[in-house]
Structure 1
Amino acid sequence: MKKIVSVILMLVLCMSFITGCQNDSNSNSTNNASTEDESATTNKIAINVAALKGPTAIGMVQIMKNAKAGTALNDYEFTIAGTADEFTTDLIKGDVQIAAIPCNLAANLYNKSAGKVKIIGINTLGVLYILQTGDSIKSIQDLKGKTIYTTGKGTTPEYTLDYLLKSAGLNPEKDVTIEFKSEATEVAAMLATSPNAIAMLPQPYATTVMMQNQNIKIALDVTEQWEKYAGKNSTVVTGVVAVNSDFADKNPQAVQQFIKEYKESVLYVNANVDSAAQLVEDFDIFKATVAKRAIPYCNITFIDGSEMKTKVSTYLKVIFDQNPASIGGVMPADDFYK
């Protein structure tokens, strides 16, 4: 009997020891998981991201949504501005770490700041369209003798239009009259009041104008015309994603995480136009009704690496040949491409 009691006591002690070990193991696992979660949270980096109202901002709306929900890979704070002047100084200084800006402006900032701004991707290809109320414009040559209303003097639209006119054998200073307006609404007003008016506008402003006046329609896709004259190896690069160089050098993982999220956001926007359009309105970029119709015409993308370098350098060379000052006087060096 004593032997049986001894055996039972031994079993009880063993069971207690095993249970204790398991509890310690579970406790350690829980603590490790907790530590990993805390580490994942504390490893998030605060990043200020700026973009312009329009396609350069539309492509990142899923990141904006995730950032608001706290599920983005980093702690992003977004600024959506009417003009790039509102944040370019901060981008050079590093107070804004990442920004979606016009391609030629990125080259300008790179040259102006001695390389403090570089690019990590193309986020928007051609978004310019020539609009008309009649049906007389079927080619660039048909613009001869016409008045063209547009925005963007001293920026990509002006240099793009000049290139197309010259490529078609027209003199921008003699064969056409180009009237620059400060706002797309002014251009829309000219189209509404003049039955034969012609305009060149970017998306989604072109869509907005057509929605307001059903007599206005697309006459020419500027990107198609560009590729007709420059060849398929060259295309219009409207927007790029720029990064502050010091930030990129010190935080390579955070930059790669942003690129990953941007690519996913672009896929989402192009595949889910309705829900993406609602996000565009939620973040006060454009009305959902406009975004829904405009997104298919915005050429929203994300291209990085060697393909980015080829497309951007080819495009900038054409712009440089039109006006060297448009990109800061010299072609960017290889380190412009991060």
Structure 2
Amino acid sequence: MKQLKRTAAFLAALSLMAAGLSACTANTGNSTSSTSSAARTAGATETGSGTSQETALQSSQTASSDSQETTLTGTGSADTAATDDTADLTVTIGALKGPTAMGMVQIMSQAEAGPVDGTDYQFSLSASPDEITPLLAKGELDLAAVPANLAAVLYNNTEGQIQVLDINTLGVLYIVENGDSVQSLADLKGKTLYASGKGATPEYALNYLLEKNGLDPETDLTIEWKSEHAECVAALAQDPNGIALLPEPFVTTAKTQNPELRTALDLSDIWDQVQADDGGSSQLITGVLVGRKAFIEEQPEAVAAFMTRYKASVEFVNSDTAAAAELIDHFGIVSQAVAQAALPACKITFIDGEDMKTALSGYLQVLADQNPQAIGGQLPADDFYYLGQ
């Protein structure tokens, strides 16, 4: 009975969050004061807001169905041997159409051929986080690759029924410009910066780094907030001296429209330097892999098998970008040309265990210091971090 009550609470919390997500607008001009708003804007770094990703990548994406969600079924062979616990098991995985899905394409390719040692991996690719949330609510997803702060929001809103298994994407935010006037963050003083993601992680990360480099985001520069990354790309095209904050693969898309556009700064490098100066150990993080706690506890061998394959897929994507780009195109994430150009800057990774906990907890602390609602109101407890069996 106690377990049924916990399950009911889990589903109710996620269902309420899904309703809140759908009601929110893409432009969060006001500071997010509810956990649903925090979750709605959680994907601003990777995907933008719903249609903004489609607009920005329209010329580079492959043809897809009318639905924003793509379901991929069927599985294939893998080197890892299955145990009795993973045989004849279906594992459902969700991911966003961006860097977090790119790292999975080798497993997705294997999944088209038939059962992977008896395990049926089924993937769903979505354009925004609020498409993934209701699938978790209905128990239709066992695992999901989501923005890092959304993982904390989900944990808090489900009373600990979500766990994070690994970091799959580090920071993908860059300062780009038409020119060469920006060599450091200090060079932004007195300038106008186009950006998208106000009230979400891009704003929090930018403000943190500006302040650590002696700049007041309110007075030392003008940040012109746009509702979509595509609007920043358009502003750059119209402004010969334009400077913008953009994530990959939008940086690569913008460069296809404007070959003179220059990547001036990598915010991940600046974050690492700030942390080194402060004696910290966090990293700028875009995405993580989460799972339903019930599934993780019931199927630990299946989780371990997937993680082994996932790590191998990430290594494949980073070592053979040409082959990976073909698969990324095949699954309709972005075009082959954009994928191959963007992959080196997409920071796709696999960090688990204590290293994951150290990096992610520090990152969430930075967000919480600026706006607790960005992570669901409070820092997750230790049981948020899955450290293996």
- Report TM bin, short chain: 0.7 to 0.9
Indicate if the aligned counterparts of 1:144 and 1:170 stay in contact, CA closer than 8 A. Answer: yes
For the pair 1:155 / 2:203, whether they are aligned, the reply is no
Counterpart selection for 1:279 from 323, 327, 330: 327
**Further displaced range: 138-147 or 307-316:** 138-147
Query: What is the Cα deviation at residue 92 of structure 1?
Result: 4.1
Query: What is the Cα deviation at residue 77 of structure 1?
Result: 1.7
Query: What is the Cα deviation at residue 159 of structure 1?
Result: 1.0
Computing the radius of gyration over CA atoms, which structure comes out larger, 1 or 2?
1
CA distance in 1, matches of 2:261, 2:82: 56
Which residue in the other structure is 2:122 paired with? 77
Counterpart selection for 2:150 from 105, 118, 134: 105
For the pair 1:45 / 2:89, whether they are aligned, the reply is yes
Query: What is the Cα deviation at residue 233 of structure 1?
Result: 2.2
**Structure 1 segment 117-266 matched on structure 2, within 5 A:** 117-231=162-276, 233-266=281-314
CA distance in 2, matches of 1:114, 1:40: 32
Query: What is the Cα deviation at residue 254 of structure 1?
Result: 1.2
CA distance in 2, matches of 1:178, 1:122: 29
- Partner letter of residue 325 of structure 1? Q
CA distance in 2, matches of 1:282, 1:40: 32
- Partner letter of residue 345 of structure 2? Y
Counterpart selection for 1:301 from 340, 349, 352: 349
Which residue in the other structure is 1:4 paired with? none
Indicate if the aligned counterparts of 1:127 and 1:203 stay in contact, CA closer than 8 A. Answer: yes
Which residue in the other structure is 1:269 paired with? 317
Query: What is the Cα deviation at residue 39 of structure 1?
Result: 9.2
Query: What is the Cα deviation at residue 255 of structure 1?
Result: 1.0
For the pair 1:62 / 2:106, whether they are aligned, the reply is yes
CA distance in 2, matches of 1:181, 1:287: 25
CA distance in 1, matches of 2:192, 2:295: 45
**Further displaced range: 175-184 or 201-210:** 175-184
CA distance in 1, matches of 2:169, 2:342: 13
- Partner letter of residue 133 of structure 2? T
Indicate if the aligned counterparts of 1:92 and 1:244 stay in contact, CA closer than 8 A. Answer: no
- Partner letter of residue 362 of structure 2? T
**Further displaced range: 131-140 or 171-180:** 171-180
**Further displaced range: 287-296 or 140-149:** 140-149
CA distance in 2, matches of 1:244, 1:120: 10
**Further displaced range: 84-93 or 256-265:** 84-93
Query: What is the Cα deviation at residue 41 of structure 1?
Result: 11
**Further displaced range: 56-65 or 183-192:** 183-192
Indicate if the aligned counterparts of 1:104 and 1:155 stay in contact, CA closer than 8 A. Answer: no
TM-score, length-scaled by structure 2: 0.74
Which residue in the other structure is 1:325 paired with? 373
CA distance in 2, matches of 1:230, 1:327: 20
More helix by share: 1
Indicate if the aligned counterparts of 2:86 and 2:301 stay in contact, CA closer than 8 A. Answer: no
TM-score, length-scaled by structure 1: 0.85
Which residue in the other structure is 1:337 paired with? 385
**Runs of 5+ unmatched residues, structure 2:** 1-80
- Partner letter of residue 249 of structure 1? E
Change (3 A) 1:146 1:272: same
- Partner letter of residue 139 of structure 2? G
Alignment: residue pair count? 302
Indicate if the aligned counterparts of 1:237 and 1:315 stay in contact, CA closer than 8 A. Answer: yes
CA distance in 2, matches of 1:71, 1:136: 54
- Partner letter of residue 160 of structure 1? A
**Further displaced range: 203-212 or 169-178:** 169-178
Change (3 A) 1:42 1:164: closer
Indicate if the aligned counterparts of 1:91 and 1:117 stay in contact, CA closer than 8 A. Answer: no
Query: What is the Cα deviation at residue 173 of structure 1?
Result: 1.9
Task: Give the match's secondary structure for 2:281.
Answer: coil
Task: Give the match's secondary structure for 1:130.
Answer: strand
Identity among equivalent positions (%) equals 49
Indicate if the aligned counterparts of 1:94 and 1:247 stay in contact, CA closer than 8 A. Answer: no
CA distance in 2, matches of 1:263, 1:39: 19
- For the aligned residue pairs, the C-alpha RMSD in angstroms reads 1.9
Structure 1 runs, 4 residues or longer, greater than 3 Å off: 37-42
